[in-house]
């Protein structure tokens, strides 16, 4: 089958689909990943076809979260997604942010399935993952709030307007978010979640067709080798701590880097930083660019990160303690899971991050052996899972 995976977002929203796409290719399918231009190399180095999507998600995320920046990005994105309807494809696999692909699949007359990296389906087990609600609203309240995010035009008027425009451009009749959601539920639209059920147990109140499969591990770039400077740094002393703040780090690289260096010195730790600046900061701190987390994380003593879903999974797989520094969106949810699993001390919301707080959390993660013991036990079980297999089986059945 000709499969198009729609991976909208930044690096962490695209990388897991390279691993999933490779498994589908091994099963005999033709795989294309639609992603923004900055992540083309990530896709093609995995031997998969890249379909460029217009717009820059980082601009929308760093534009002070303004409605105008978000709307401009959304308009570009919708135009790019609508263009997929002109391709020859037999199946669309949609990430959370690629949900408008449902309209594209309808226009093409082909099936679609969800391949989500966040558990956004309504449940009483936890509050909506992609909302401002970070505390439980009770089982009924949690479910109701999550469902409103799907059904209510008030929840996202900009998105609803873009969806209406998109359907008109595709020659589809107008509809409402509530109608779309009810249609999706009545047909038990399948959604596979690329996260371990050990990290997020499948909610018992989910309907059939919603599955948590296990992680889809990103591919390493073909022929990748570690920079000799990084390799020599790792070998030159005790295992360092890793500190990284994800795709947004480049916006204030100098400030974030200085904060991390001061924290590492207070904690008496060596460090590898992914905070936007590269090169030697001192004898015991090295700044790096993109380095495969599956190679780097097992070589460090702790991982302090923004709690993006992919970075969270990589840390779990590596079996090292975490320090959770969530920034936005789904990141507080993943931070809460790391704490609940006992592999991280109390999270530090990014807006409250200081060198002293980061140093204290790093020291706790490194010196308390219980964090490492629990992390290693969890890693052994998660690494044994095959998260891609259920998706491949579902595609083969089509």
Check pLDDT > 80 for residue 71: no
What's the pLDDT score for residue 155? 46
Check pLDDT > 80 for residue 258: yes
- Give me the torsion for CA of 220, 211, 197, 344, rounded to 10°: 70
207 and 272 housed in the same domain: no
What is the pLDDT confidence band of residue 154, given thresholds at 50, 70 and 90? very low
264 and 152 housed in the same domain: no
Q: Mean pLDDT lowest for which of 24-38, 94-108, 127-141, 343-357? A: 127-141
- Please answer whether residues 301 and 319 qualify as being in contact, where contact means their C-beta atoms are separated by less than 8 angstroms: no
170 and 249 housed in the same domain: no
Find, among 117, 319, 78, 302, the residue nearest to 200 by Cα: 117
199 and 237 housed in the same domain: no
Check pLDDT > 50 for residue 54: yes
Sign, Cα dihedral of 60, 65, 66, 70: positive
138 and 61 housed in the same domain: yes
Q: Which residues contact 258 (CB under 8 A, 6 or more apart)?
A: none
Q: State the CATH number of the domain containing residue 379.
A: 3.40.50.2000
140 and 287 housed in the same domain: no
210 and 244 housed in the same domain: no
Give the residue numbers spanning the domain of 286.
Answer: 228-383
- Please answer whether residues 244 and 274 qualify as being in contact, where contact means their C-beta atoms are separated by less than 8 angstroms: yes
Joined together, the tokens standing for residue 46 give 């995995």
88 and 129 housed in the same domain: yes
Q: Tell me the C-alpha distance between 370 and 360, whole Å.
A: 16
Check pLDDT > 50 for residue 267: yes
Query: Residues 296-320: pLDDT tens digits?
Result: 999 999 999 999 999 999 999 999 9
Burial label, 109 (beta-carbon count in 10 A; 0-12, 13-18, 19+): exposed
Query: Residues 314-356: pLDDT tens digits?
Result: 999 999 999 999 988 899 999 999 999 999 999 999 889 999 9
Query: Residues 105-127: pLDDT tens digits?
Result: 999 999 999 999 999 999 999 99
Mean pLDDT for 49-71 is 73
Check pLDDT > 70 for residue 160: no
Check pLDDT > 80 for residue 57: no
What's the pLDDT score for residue 132? 62
Query: Residues 163-217: pLDDT tens digits?
Result: 888 898 999 999 888 898 999 999 999 999 999 999 999 999 999 999 999 999 9
The structural domain count of the chain equals 2
What's the pLDDT score for residue 18? 96
199 and 258 housed in the same domain: no
152 and 289 housed in the same domain: no
What's the pLDDT score for residue 34? 95
Check pLDDT > 60 for residue 13: yes
237 and 377 housed in the same domain: yes
Proportion of the chain above pLDDT 70, given as a percent: 93
What's the pLDDT score for residue 379? 97
Check pLDDT > 70 for residue 66: no
48 and 148 housed in the same domain: yes
- Please answer whether residues 323 and 361 qualify as being in contact, where contact means their C-beta atoms are separated by less than 8 angstroms: yes
């Amino acid at each position: 089958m000709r499969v198009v995976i729609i991976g909208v977002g930044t690096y962490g929203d695209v990388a897991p689909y390279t691993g999933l796409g490779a498994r589908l290719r091994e099963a005999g399918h033709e795989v294309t990943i639609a992603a923004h231009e900055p992540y083309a190399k990530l896709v093609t180095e995995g031997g998969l076809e890249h379909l460029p999507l217009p717009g820059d998600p980082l601009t929308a995320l760093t534009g002070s979260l303004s409605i105008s920046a978000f709307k401009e990005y959304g308009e570009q994105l919708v135009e790019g997604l609508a263009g997929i309807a002109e391709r020859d494809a037999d199946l669309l696999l949609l990430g959370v942010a690629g949900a408008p692909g449902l309209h594209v699949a309808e226009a093409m007359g082909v099936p679609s399935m969800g391949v989500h990296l966040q558990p956004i389906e309504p449940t009483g087990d936890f509050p909506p993952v992609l909302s401002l609600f970070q505390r439980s609203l009770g089982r009924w309240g949690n479910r109701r709030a999550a469902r409103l995010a799907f059904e209510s035009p008030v929840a996202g008027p900009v998105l609803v307007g873009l969806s209406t425009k998109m359907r008109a451009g595709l020659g589809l009749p107008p509809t409402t978010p509530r109608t779309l959601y009810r249609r999706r539920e009545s047909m038990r639209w399948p959604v596979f979640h690329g996260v371990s059920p050990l990290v997020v147990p499948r909610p018992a109140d989910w309907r059939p067709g919603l599955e948590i499969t296990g992680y889809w591990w990103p591919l390493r770039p073909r022929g990748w080798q570690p920079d000799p400077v990084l390799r020599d740094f790792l070998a030159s002393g005790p295992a360092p701590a890793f500190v990284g703040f994800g795709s947004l780090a480049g916006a204030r690289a100098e400030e974030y880097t200085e904060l991390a260096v001061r924290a590492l010195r207070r904690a008496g730790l060596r460090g590898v930083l992914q905070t936007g600046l590269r090169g030697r900061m001192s004898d015991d701190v090295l700044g790096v660019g993109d380095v495969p987390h599956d190679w780097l994380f097992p070589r460090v003593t702790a991982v302090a990160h923004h709690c993006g879903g992919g970075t969270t999974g990589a840390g779990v797989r590596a079996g090292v303690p975490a320090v959770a520094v969530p920034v936005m969106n789904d990141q507080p949810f993943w931070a809460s899971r790391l704490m609940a699993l006992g592999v991280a001390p109390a999270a530090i919301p990014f807006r409250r991050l200081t060198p002293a707080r980061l140093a204290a959390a790093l020291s706790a993660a490194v010196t308390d052996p219980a964090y490492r013991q629990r992390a290693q036990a969890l890693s052994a079980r998660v690494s044994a899972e095959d998260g891609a297999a259920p998706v491949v089986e579902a595609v083969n059945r089509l």
